[in-house]
Every structure is written in structure tokens, then in C-alpha cells.
Amino acid sequence: MTLQFPMLVDGAWVPSSDDRWINSHEPGTGEVWAQIPAATEGDVDRAVMAAHRAMRSGPWSEMTASARGEALVRLSELVSGHASVLAEAETRDTGKLIRETTGSVDYVPAFYRYYGGLADKIQGHTLPSDKPGMEIFTYREPVGVVAAIVPWNSPQMLLAVKLAPALAAGNAVVIKPSEHGSIPILEFGKLVEQAGIPRGVVNIVTGRGDPVGNVLTRHRLVSRIAFTGGPDTARTIVRNSAENFASVSLELGGKSPQIVFADANLDSALNGIVGGIFGASGQSCVAGSRLYVQREIYDDFIARLIDRTEQIRLGSPLDPDSEMGPLATREQLGRFDLYVGSTPAEGGRVLTGGGRPVEPAMGWFVEPTILETHAKGIRAQEDEIFGPVLAVTTFNDQADAVEKANATQYGLAAGVWTSAVERAHQMIRALSAGIVWVNTYRATSPVAPFGGLRDSGGGRESGADAVYDYTSVKTAWINSSDEVVADPFKVQ
């Protein structure tokens, strides 16, 4: 019998109110392995109302900031204690390798701990009043009901960067996970109550983007939308926010450049390039999907890169020895075929990969692929594919590298490989991206802000400042003078 995972609404684990379910596929086999509820508009409304109630009355609204922080620390410990269940759920549901989900889930507790520690350090200010006898100060209050919209590619981590600061600041949350990655979030949700977070504070509604995400992001009682996903959905959400004037943060995709200078440690660069694009089968917002190599080392470096790429071991996501897993959805396969297939006609060529592997025979696997894209206008070099496809070309000097790297509407991340410290600083300043990694790639931390520019979205997740995005400022004025308040109609 197919496993069924109910959703969390107002502290209860429930099916959708019309008892409709959506099949969830296991990308490693392509087979259905479980079902999740297809929430109705009414279910979404119930979840938002529960969050709204939890904000206004009851134990959560009365909890001190320190107690909220302690609950987050307990949650971090519970995630650690259940790491293997959570990692396996993410692997089965999304096809991400068990070695990757284990690493990611092992790091998730650090985010709940970090924001747990910040909960009682969210402070207002006493302002230097310009009016004698008048005290002015500010409070930082929770903003209200937060809608957290999470994609499938790293669901538990991308939830943590939203949920942890939202709860630290005292908000209540309605989570809408991707229909392709709901089960790890539902498994995580079981820990929320155990952490002592009261009923209704965290709700999880599952189902398709439309209607579930649509109804949620338009809801009149939602005050803040934290979204990670693609640009088309982001545009819909921004339009929806015209209904409730919720503040919106957008963490979108990228077409991030990696730049290898001739003076770099090429062994490190090789590992950084391979991990940057083929990690998570390229289904990472910060995938280093464009590679620029300085002309004098291009041929040798690309030959080594092809050799290393062809050794990548594809296999079941549940096998700890697999080095690259499948794509997460059948639609992603079509996207891979489209971009790789059109490259030769557009003036590029396939250096390695480009098709389906012989082994594994089942599941949504594609080969790790390198395309040479010297010509302009090759779509695989310009658009986010969200798969294991690397577009490579040369550059002449530093100015040429900057110009080529910045020639994109995206602006999420960039990688620079060089041993010259002055060049490193110059490149950090010159690259138009929210994150620049030098001699490393894909490093993240709860302490480090994360986010992009232009089509990569706006706003920053992680870091201490992110918690303020989940607060609103209340300004208080107190007249502390003994004098009678002036008669408004008497000229002084």
C-alpha cells in the first residue's frame, strides 16, 4: 500500500478536506512511493487562521523571547536526533544523494541554534529626541503570519533559513513545500510540537503551486512571504502580494560564473568546478554553470575536467557510494534535452555527456555534461537549466573575465580561482553578484547573508540581519514633561 503523509493544520495531522491526494514519485526509480494531501482553498484558509490566532492569543503570544530561543534550540537538537530519518525522506522524495542530504540535514540544526540564540537579542532603540520632555523609542514586533514557500531541491535547509528567523522574532508560519519535496518537510513538522512550539504556530499545507501557493500568498492575513523558487513563480507571487501588501523576499535562480585564472591552484579549481556544477545533479540555485578559463591554460584544464567528469559514478541516491543522482522531476529531463539538444545548431558543441547513461537504467538520470560555448547566443550558456550542464569558454585577461561573467540578467553567485590576493579583491568588487567565493565554492553558513540581484531576486537569508525582516517597527512617544499639553487653538 502507498504511504500517505497527512499535513499539519492547527496542531492536527489531517488529510485535505475533500480527501484528495497527490502521488509523490521517487526520482531514483521513477515510481510512486507516497502520497501527500492536495489541500483545498479552505484548508489553506484554516491554516492561516490558526497561525493568526496563535499570534494574537495563547501561549506563543505570551512566550518571552528567551523561551522562544530555547524552543528553537530544542528543535535543533531534535533535528540532530532524527537526522537519518530526515535525510532519507529527502533523498527518497527528491532524488538528492543520501551523502548530500545527510550533510545538509547535519547542518540544519546550526541554523535553528543560531536564530535561537538571536531570539532575545532583537531590540528596539531609544531615540535622541529633538523635543524637550518627549521620549521616543521603538519596539521590534513580529510582523504577523509568514508564508514560507519552499522548492524541492534542498527543502529542509531552505525551510530552516525562513522558519528559524521567523520563529525567533515571534511570528507564526504557514509552510507550502513543493509537491516534489513535501515529505521531508512533513517529517520535520513532527518535531515542532516536541520542541514545545504551541499548536497553530507552524502549519504545513501541501499541494500544487496553484491553488495552494496562490491562495496562501494572496491571503489577507499574510503579512510576509518568504519565497525560494523560479522567476516565473516569483512574478506571480509579487502580483499576489498586491492583494495583501505582504513584504516579499525572493531567492531565485542563477547562472553563476566560475572564473579560473592561470595563476590558480588548478587542483583546487578542478574540484571546485566539478562540485559546483555536478553536486545535487546541478539542481542548485548557486550551481556554477558557466565556466571561464584563461586562454593559456584552457586546453589542458578542460581536458582534465572532461576526464574527471567522465569518472563521476552515477547511482541510486540511497547508495552512499553514488557521486551523482537523478534529476528530481520528469519535467527536468525535458529541460535538459531541450538545452543540450539545441546547442550544436546554435554554434556550440558537446564535449562530454549530453544523454542518458546506460546505468542506472531506471530513474530520471542524465549524464554530467560539458558544452563548449565560444559563440554568442547559445541558450545553454545564458539560461538557468537547473541540471548537470556546464557551459565552458575562454577569457583573455581580468577585464575580459569580468565582462563575460557579468553579461547576464542573473546575479546570485560567482567563483574566482586565483592565487593573487590583489586580483581576488578586485574581482570581488567587480563581479555583479550577491555572493563571491574565492578559492572555494558553495560554502554557506547561518552567519553569512545569502541572496542575489536582478533575476536572482532580492533580500537576503541567513545572517543576523535576516531576523529583522521578520519584524515590524513600532514607534512609541511618551510626553514625560509636567507641563500641560498646549492648547491647540491658542497661538503661542
Residues in the site for ligand NDP, rule: CB under 6 A?
A: 149-153, 158, 176-180, 208-210, 213-214, 217, 228-230, 233, 236-237, 251-253, 285, 384, 386, 412
Report the relative pairing of strands 21-26 and 31-37 from DSSP bridges.
antiparallel
Dist. CA 118–CA 463, nearest whole Å: 10
Nearer to ligand NDP, 74 or 335 (CB): 335
Q: Given 88, 100, 251, 367, which residue is catalytic?
A: 251
Nearer to ligand NDP, 93 or 367 (CB): 93
Nearest to 317 by CA among 264, 272, 362: 362
SS3 string of 50-115? HHHHHHHCCHHHHCCHHHHHHHHHHHHHHHHHCHHHHHHHHHHHHCCCHHHHHHHHHHHHHHHHHH
Nearest to 112 by CA among 7, 188, 13: 188
Nearest to 292 by CA among 352, 372, 379: 372
Least Å from the CB of residue 385 to ligand NDP: 10
* DSSP symbol at 383: S
Dist. CA 57–CA 223, nearest whole Å: 17
Mark whether 77 is an active-site residue: no
Identity of residue 278: F
Residue 184 corresponds to which cell in the numbers above?
A: 521531508
* DSSP symbol at 241: H
User: Which residues partner with 174 through β-bridges?
Assistant: 147, 203
Q: Are 270 and 139 in contact (CB under 8 A)?
A: no
Nearer to ligand NDP, 217 or 309 (CB): 217
Nearer to ligand NDP, 79 or 175 (CB): 175
Least Å from the CB of residue 306 to ligand NDP: 26
Nearer to ligand NDP, 167 or 328 (CB): 328
Dist. CA 29–CA 479, nearest whole Å: 69
Nearer to ligand NDP, 160 or 197 (CB): 160
Q: Are 288 and 256 in contact (CB under 8 A)?
A: yes
Helix, strand, coil content of the chain in percent (nearest 5):
40, 20, 35
Least Å from the CB of residue 406 to ligand NDP: 18
Nearer to ligand NDP, 372 or 384 (CB): 384
Dist. CA 281–CA 258, nearest whole Å: 17
Mark whether 382 is an active-site residue: no
Dist. CA 24–CA 89, nearest whole Å: 12
Q: In the block, which residue shows the cell 538520470?
A: 365
Nearer to ligand NDP, 95 or 213 (CB): 213
Q: Given 26, 88, 179, 285, which residue is catalytic?
A: 285
With 0-12 CB in 10 A as exposed, 13-18 as middle and 19+ as buried, what is 130? exposed
Nearer to ligand NDP, 217 or 471 (CB): 217
Q: In the block, which residue shows the cell 537569508?
A: 461
Least Å from the CB of residue 405 to ligand NDP: 18
Dist. CA 411–CA 431, nearest whole Å: 9
Least Å from the CB of residue 355 to ligand NDP: 23
Least Å from the CB of residue 285 to ligand NDP: 3
Q: Are 437 and 414 in contact (CB under 8 A)?
A: yes
User: Which residues partner with 127 through β-bridges?
Assistant: 136
Q: What are the catalytic residues?
A: 251, 285
